[in-house]
Structure 1
Amino acid sequence: MIKKMQLPLQTLNLITGFMVWVIISSLMPFISEDISIPQGKLAMVTAIPVVLGSILRIPLGYYANILGARIIFMSSFILLLFPVYFISEASSVTHLIIGGVFLGIGGAVFSVGVTSLPKYFPKEKHGLVNGIYGIGNIGTAVTTFSAPMVAAQIGWASAIKMYLILLLVFIALNFFFGDRHEPKLKTPIIEQIKGVSRNEKLWLFSLFYFITFGSFVAFTIYLPNFLVSNFGLEKVDAGMRTAGFIAVATFFRPIGGWLGDKFQPLFLLIGTFSIYTVAAIILAFMPDMGMYTAGCLAIAVSAGIGNGVIFKLVPLYFNKQAGIANGIVSMMGGLGGFFPPIMLSVIYSATGQYSIGFMLLSQVALASLVLVVWLYFQDRLALTAEVFNSTGQGILVTDISGLIKSVNPAFTKLTGYTEEEVLGRQPSILKSGRQSKDFYLGMWKEIREKGMWQGEIWNKRKNGEEYLQWLNISAVKDETGEDVRYVGTFSDITQK
């Protein structure tokens, strides 16, 4: 019973953490009426909770494996009680910055669930499970939508204090319904970091999540004030539109995870970054409200799908180091939400417009698209190499003139010749002498006419021992139909 409750409980935990995480940015239009915030520090105040919320994801992901999700979620919510109360009593920019730094714990809990939940489900469902857990992103939409309306009625300080009650409720829920017997993994953190840091896929996934989740957080932080200042919308209207962006991105996250379970995840990321590139270019031209809304929704859809797909990929490639890998990738995503608002603010201060910032986003998305395409084909090549090296049949590849270009480990096992000994030589070194010249002439005639030949043939190992092969030779052709190489596959059938 307790195990079945972990997915809904941890998803609700994430919703709660994310609701607390964006308190400052969601209520900034109200807070700025009572606390004077210089324009140069506005982006810093709203983005600062992302810093700790990103960096803490590595230790929280790691300790989720060591201590279990129950302990980490409870501890995180207890710690959040203090910055939430502190911010509700804030009277200066310094107070907001100090409280905001520790408010980042709410965003850091993301890495707990993506590390814990896959333990309860088979591998083919990890994409969907992490996607459902990612619905917890809706917590930012709940606060963005509801906090301004509550603040308009009772004031922003009282609205923030209401989050104390929410945190106390979830501390109790985790105490009673958290899994006390969650499987633990106690590999030292340094060993895990060493194990994953040399893998280039970790850093590529981190870059991709930096873009997808980073833009999700950045738009969440940046849209409320931008829509008010640039399009002249009312604060509540701007909050509702931002909540709509968050809701769309969140809704498509489990869809992205589900699609990642059904289809090639890297191929899905190619589509994601293609949409990103086009949408960011549209936003760069600062169109009217209709086109701007369409561009934002396109980014919301692709961000949601991309977020879900990436957390299908992480446990797929880093099963034994899932805690630390999830922490690093999700940290980079959080940092992706920290830098764009600051970058947009600096660019706006220097140029008086946001167009350059959006154009930079389009170029980063385009670069990511190129990297995903490269990774996709690298993966296919790696799969081909894995099949080539692990198959039990001997394989040799020659060029058009018959010189050996490649052999697999099974070739060495069956013939006794190493790859270094046969590269650049003719396959005739394997001849036993039992077949006549006419036999070989007939073989090659059939290959040229039909593209392949197969049959029994006596060959000789390096040690001189003769054995009977079942041999298949196929011609590999180019686009014009000309032979460019030949592939031979064989097995020892002497005993048969």
Structure 2
Amino acid sequence: MKKRGIQLTLQTSSLIVGFMVWVLLSSLMTYIKEDIALTSGQASIVTAVPVILGSLLRIPLGFYSDRFGARLIFSISFLILLFPVFFISTADSFIDLIIGGLFLGIGGATFSIGVTSLPKYYPKERHGFINGVYGVGNAGTAITTFGAPILASSIGWQGTVRLYLILLLAFIALIFVFGDRKEVKVKKSMVEQIQGVYKNATLWFLSLFYFITFGAFVAFTVFLPSFLVTYFGLDPVDAGLRTGFFIILATAMRPIGGFLADKFNAFIILMLVFCFVSLSGILLAFSPDIKWYTVGALSVAVSAGIGNGTIFKLVPLYFSNQAGVVNGIVSAMGGLGGFFPPLLLTAVNNMTGQYAIAFMLMSEFALVSFVIVAFMYYQEKLATMRNSKLN
């Protein structure tokens, strides 16, 4: 009992740090633009770039966490992060920010470490809640979004970035001391695990669902700070506070989603989630002022947060023998779901002068997901009825 509690606390805290580092550029973009000349398109690319590696690396990190344990993979990830964080603190051009931001994505990729490791310590009926608690590590994005602009206004954005070097070094030491050296490890090859799952439609349905729910969370996290300043005329600190509240609310909903999925049918919960995401997209598309936009954004926070927790109840339920690589694939798709919307929003605004079309696309994707979840729910019901008749 003591070991599992230590690992849950350590890995969740480590995820908080990883996510704090992951969103450094988007949180400080208003201040960075004062020193480095960037067009709105370049700024969107810089804020979106960390999502690329933060998504794609989730697949190997999930696999190697299963094979070598969370202690080693977290330690290596944080050691590597020291270099892009320092490099960004010395950046003076668009290319510097792109290079540093790409490798900053490792912070976001650490998500797949804990969702692979922590279920090993708990019974299946608690996996939804435990992965939901681990997902509270998303709060790291809120801490940086909320705190980094305040620090930057006092010590400059370069000094703020360098403070994260101290944080990373402290957690490397903590992981080395308290990480579990005897974690159960899986020895199957990555190719063997992928071959066992890639033809399974459930994998790709879950990936689509997480593409919508976690993608919405990431997209709003990286897009809101600049959007609220440029579109609604808020100052950077106010925009950071509002974005931080969005992140806190979405993060708080994640363990609730996992708990509900443990207690009730996860497909029914997901149907409700996608209904609300779809309605939220419509509201955002036609928001005339900051008040209605806030209502729409917070509605996304609640529904996406619950959806994030629910989906990672289903992953170990359907793929207990390939948890590492499947967690990596699903979480990678979620990360990629956050890469495209900021770029799409900027492109749509450049062409039309507003963002309505992009928000409507989010609504339509959620509606399609609702139909697929309903199909999966009734397929499960039919399978249960057949089994009961056979028995």
Q: Normalised by the size of structure 1, how large is the TM-score?
A: 0.78
2:366 counterpart of 1:378: no
CA distance in 1, matches of 2:95, 2:173: 32
**Equivalent in the alignment of 1:158:** 159
Can you list the C-alpha shifts for 1:258-312, whole angstroms capped at 9, x where unaligned? 0000000010000000001111100001322111111111100001100000000
Deviation at 1:3, TM superposition (A): 3.6
Structure 1: gaps (5+ residues) = 392-496
**1:50: which partner in 2?**
51
* Contact in 2 for aligned 1:27/1:147 (Cα 8 Å): yes
Distance in 2 between the 1:121 and 1:287 partners?
Answer: 47
State the match for 1:451 in structure 2: none
Structure 1 ranges of 4+ moved more than 4 A: none
1:418-450 Cα deviation digits (max 9, x unpaired):
xxxxxxxxxxxxxxxxxxxxxxxxxxxxxxxxx
Q: How far apart in 2 are the matches of 1:386 and 1:84? A: 55
CA distance in 2, matches of 1:200, 1:229: 41
Q: 3-state DSSP class of the match of 2:330?
A: helix
Matches within 5 A, 1:53-72: 53-72=54-73
1:299-328 per-residue CA deviation (whole Å, 9 max, x = no partner) reads: 000011000000001001101111011000
- Once the two structures are TM-superposed, the CA of residue 382 in structure 1 deviates from its matched residue by 1.9
Corresponding position of 1:25: 26
Q: Is the contact between residue 18 and residue 140 of structure 1 (CA under 8 Å) also seen in structure 2?
A: yes
TM-superposed CA distance for 1:2, in Å, is: 3.6
Q: CA deviation at 1:387?
A: 3.1
Mapping 1:317-332, distance limit 5 Å: 317-332=318-333
Q: Percent identity among equivalent residues?
A: 60
Counterpart in 2 of 1:4?
5
What does 1:284-323 correspond to in 2, within 5 Å? 284-323=285-324
Supply the distance in 1 between the matched residues of 2:389 and 2:188 (Cα, whole angstroms). 33
User: Could you tell me which residue of structure 2 aligns to residue 149 of structure 1?
Assistant: 150
The question of whether the paired residues in 2 share the 8 Å contact of 1:3 and 1:179 is answered with no
Q: Secondary structure at the match of 1:99?
A: helix
Deviation at 1:352, TM superposition (A): 1.1
Q: CA deviation at 1:20?
A: 0.2
Distance in 2, matches of 1:67 and 1:105, equals 18
1:67-121 superposed Cα distances (whole Å, 9 cap, x missing partner) = 0000000000000000000000000000000000000000000000000000000
> How many residue pairs were aligned?
390
SS in 2 for 1:148: helix
Name the aligned partner's letter for residue 71 of structure 2: R
Matching of residue 273 in structure 1 with residue 303 in structure 2 = no
Which of the pair has more CA radius of gyration? 1
The letter for the 2-side match of 1:363 is E
Structure 2 matches for 1:332-347, cutoff 5 A? 332-347=333-348
TM-score for both structures, normalised by structure 2: 0.99
Taking the aligned partners of 2:210 and 2:289, their CA distance within structure 1 comes to 29
Tell me the secondary structure at the aligned position of residue 155 of structure 1. Answer: helix
Does the aligned pair in 2 maintain the 1:11–1:133 contact within 8 Å? yes
**Partner SS, residue 91 of structure 1:** coil
Distance 2:190 2:386 in 1: 32
Structure 2: how far apart are the matches of 1:59 and 1:385?
38
Q: Counterpart in 1 of 2:263? A: 262
- Offset of 1:246 from its aligned partner? 0.2
Superposed, 1:342-361 pairs within 5 Å as 342-361=343-362
Q: What secondary structure is seen at the aligned counterpart in 1 of 2:54?
A: helix
Which range is displaced more, 329-338 or 190-199? 190-199
CA distance in 1, matches of 2:57, 2:115: 14
Whole-angstrom distance in 2 between the partners of 1:225 and 1:93: 17
Post-superposition CA distance 1:202-253 (Å, at most 9, x none): 0000000000000000000110111111111111000000000000000000
**Separation in 1 of the partners of 2:348 and 2:234?**
23
How far the C-alpha of 1:4 sits from its partner, in A, is 2.8
1:139 equivalent in structure 2: 140
Give, in whole Å, the separation in 2 of the partners of 1:386 and 1:339: 42
Quick one: distance in 1 between partners of 2:248 and 2:70? 26
User: Cα offset for 1:349?
Assistant: 1.2
Q: Deviations over 1:332-370 (max 9, x none)?
A: 000000011111111111111101100111111111111
1:347–1:356 contact (8 Å) kept in structure 2: yes
- Residue of structure 2 in register with 1:235 after alignment: 236
Gaps of 5+ in 2: none
